[in-house]
Structure 1
Amino acid sequence: MTGMGIWGAVEAAHAWQVTPVAAMPFVLMLLGIAVLPLVAEHWWHSNRNKGIVSVLLGLPIVVYLLAHGEAGSHRLMHAVEEYAAFILLLLALYTISGGILLTGDLPAHPRTNVMFLGLGAVLANFVGTTGASMLLIRPLLRTNSERNRKAHVPLFFIFVVSNLGGLLTPLGDPPLFLGFLKGVSFFWTLSLWPQWLVANGIVLAVFYVWDSLAYRNETVRDRYKDERMVEPLKLHGAILNGVLLLGVLLVVIFQSPQVGEAFGKLVGGGNLMIPKPFGEVAMASLTLLSVLFTAKDVRQRNQFTWGPIVEVAVLFVGIFVTMVPALMLLEANRETLGVTQPWQYFWLTGSLSAFLDNAPTYVTFATLASGGEGFGQLAVTAPTILAAVSCGAVFMGAMTYIGNGPNLMVKAISDEMGYRMPSFFGYLLRSVLVLGPVMGLITVIFFRG
C-alpha cells in the first residue's frame, strides 16, 4: 500500500462514523453461507449463484467506502490486497497438493487408521487442512472399504485432519493465514503446540478405542478379505509438487518482516523480506508450474476439479469486502461489549466458527480484542487472548459440516465411496459428544482466566 500506509488508513478511516446498517451485508453474507446450503441446496450448489450473492452484498459496500473519499478507498484497497494474498495462497496449496496422488490399500487395523490421522494432523500444517484432506481421504477410505463398521472413520478424519491438525502454522488453516496477513509472526502459532497436542492427542485416543471396538466386531470373513486385499502405498507426482510446496512455505515465511530481517543479518545483507506484490507473483508462478508439469493422469486419478477453489474465491471476495465496515464498528465499540476473558473469546469465536465460517470469525474477534491496533501487537500484549481466538476458530470449525471448507469436501467424497455419512444435525450430535468434552478441557487448562 502506498501513501498513508496500512495504519495511516486505519486512522483515517475513523474520520467518519460507521453506522450499524453498514454491517448488515456482512451479517447476511455469513448467514447465507450457513443457511442456504440447508434450505436451497440445489440452487446454492452453483458457484455462479454464490458469486451473485457475493456481488449483490459486496457492491453496496464498495460504493459506501468509495463515497467516503480517501479514507474509505484505503480501507477498500487494503481489503483487496489481503484477499489477493489469501486466495493465491489457497490456490497454490490446493493446486499443488492436488498434483500429489497417494494410492494403495493397507490392512485396516486401528493402528493403521490412527497413523493416517496422525500423519494428516502434522501434514495439515504444511499443505493446509484442505491439502492434507484431499491427499489422504481417498487412501484411508479405500483402506477401510472391506470393513462393515467404518462409518466413524471419515467423521474422525474431519475432526483431526480437516480441522484440529492445522493449528501450528499460518499455512494450516485460513484463519491463521489471515492473522499472518494482519501482522502475526509466522512462527508465533508454533507456541500453540500444547493446545494442539492436547486436542489431537485426546481425539486420536478416543478414535483408537472406538475403532478397536469396531474392528473386534467385524466378521472373520471381512477381516480375512481386508488382510488379503492389500496394495502398498505409492506416491505419484510427489517430487515436483513436493518441491513446489516447499517453495510456497519459503515464500510465506519470507513475507514476514522478522524473518527477512533475521536472515538479512545472518548473510550480512539488508532485509530479505519478500515485498508485495512479489510474494503473490511467486505464489501464482508456483501454481502455474504445478499445472503445466504435473502429469494429467495424476490429477484425473485424484479426481481433481477447480470447483472447490472457485467456490472459496467467489465467497471470500464478498466476505472480505463486506467485512470492512463490520470490523470498523468493532474497533469503535469494543469497550462496550464486555468480552474480556480468554474463555469468552475461545467460546464465542468457536461457536460462530462452527455455524458460519472460521476465517472471518477469527478476524472479527481478533479485531475486537486488538481494537484495530494490529494482530501482531495482540500477540505481544495479550497472547492468551489471541491463542483463544486462534484455537476457537481452528478447533470448533470441526463442529459442523459448514465450519471449515474441507468438511463438506470429505463428506462428498465419503458419500461417493459408499460410506454412510450422517445428516447435518446427526453430524452435529456426534461432534458435540466427541469434541465438546475436549473443548471443555482445553478451556480449563489454557483459557480459564
Structure 2
Amino acid sequence: MSRAVVAGVSVAGLAAGRVLSRHFDEVLLIEPDVLPKGTGARGGVPHSEQMHVLLGLAQSLLDHWFPGLTSLVRTDGAVLCDSRATRMCTDGVPRPLVAGFPLLPVRRTVLESRLRDAVLPLPPVRLFRDRVVGLRQRGGRVDGVVLASGRSLGEVDLVVDATGRGSRGGEWLRHLGYAPPPRRRLKLDLGYATALFHRSAEHPTLDGLLSSHSTRTGLHGAPGVATVAPVTDSRWSCLISGYGDDRPTASPGEFRRRCLAEPAAGFADLVRRCAPAGPVRVHRFPHAQRRDHHLAETHPEAFIAVGDAVVSCNPVYGQGIPSALLHASALDAWLTESAPTAAFFDRTRALADAVWQTSAPLDSRLPHVTGDRPPSTRLTRALADLINTSAHSDEVLARRFAAVVHMREHPSTLATPSTVARAVITAAKARISR
C-alpha cells in the first residue's frame, strides 16, 4: 500500500491532498488546528478575515481540481465582478476596460470550508489532529514523520510540507544532516486592514461599480493598495494597506478617513452611504520570501514543499492561492512522471520565478524595502514602469498587462521586443501630446 503525508491543511495542503488521492492508496493529512464546522475561522490562518480576491487563473484551477467549486462559492454569496463593473486605477488614473478577466472576491473561511468538504471525504484521505515536528529517513530517502504527540508515522512514500510561510521544514532537514534550502527575503513591513459594510438592494453598486482597485505607487503620497468589492449580496468588503509608519490600524475613524482620501472611485461612496457591518481587522506582513530548494547541494528523496512554504509574496497582488494551485498541478505532473525529487523542485522553481518576477520588482521600488533584491531589479523595474504607464492609454498593452496580473501569462511576455516597442511608442506619443 502506498502512503503519502501532508503537513498542514491549508489551501495548498488541501489541493495537494486532492492530487495525492489520485496517486496513493492512503493520504494522511496532519493538522494541529481544530478544523471548524462550516465557515468558521481556523486558528492557524490569522489573515482569514482579510479580503481575498480570486484572479482568473485561481478560478480556472479551482474548477479543474474541484469541479464546480467556484459555482458553489457563488451560491454561498460570492459575486463575480466582470470588467464592465470593475475599475482598476493607478494613482487615481483608470486603466482601459479589458474584457475576459473577471474577479471573484471570496471569504477565505467560505473557500476553505468548501475545499475541506471536497477533500476530506475522499476514500484515501485520513485526517489527524497533530503537528509534524520532524522527519524520518532511510538510505537518503524520507520514509516517515515524527509528531508532536510523540507518535511516529512510518512506511511513508512521500512527505509534503504545506505548513505555510512559517515552515520548519528547513529545521527538519537540518536534523537529518542536510542544510536548509537557501532563503531570499524582501523586508516589506506591510500592514493591511479589512472591514465589512452593509450592502443593500437599493444601492447594489458604488459609483456605478461592483469593484474598484486602487494602486498608489508612492509618486503622490504614501504607497499602498486599496480594494472594495461585494462578498455577498448584503456585504461589501474593503481592504486598505500601507507600509511602515503608514500601516493602517484597527480604528474605524482612521479607516473612514483613508477611504475618503483614496483617489479611485468607490471608496468614498462606500463610507458615505454604507454602514459598517463589523470591526476593522488588521494584519501585518513583515516580509516576502522564497525558499530555493532547487539550490540545495543535497536533499533527501521523497520530501517536497508546496504553497507559501516555497514562495510567499506581497499578498496585495493576489498570487498566493493561484500559486498554491499551480504547485498542485506541478505535483500531479511530477508524480505522473515518477521522476526524482529534484525534478519537482525544478518545476516549482519556474513557478516561484514567475511569482517573484511579478512582485519583487514592484516591491523593490519602495524606498524603505530592504533585502535580497534581484540583480536585474533596476532594469525590470524600469520596464515595469514603462509597461504600466503605457497600459493606461493602449488597450493592447492593457490586455497583456492584465494577462500577467491574472497569472495567465508569464511576466516575461511583457519583455518581448514587440511589447517593449509598443510601450516605447505609446509613451513617446503621450509625451508629444502633452
For the aligned pair, the TM-score class normalised by the smaller chain equals under 0.3
More helix by share: 1
TM-score by length of 2: 0.26
- How high is the TM-score relative to the length of structure 1? 0.25
The structure with the greater share of residues assigned to strand is 2
Higher relative contact order (CA 8 A, sep 6+): 1
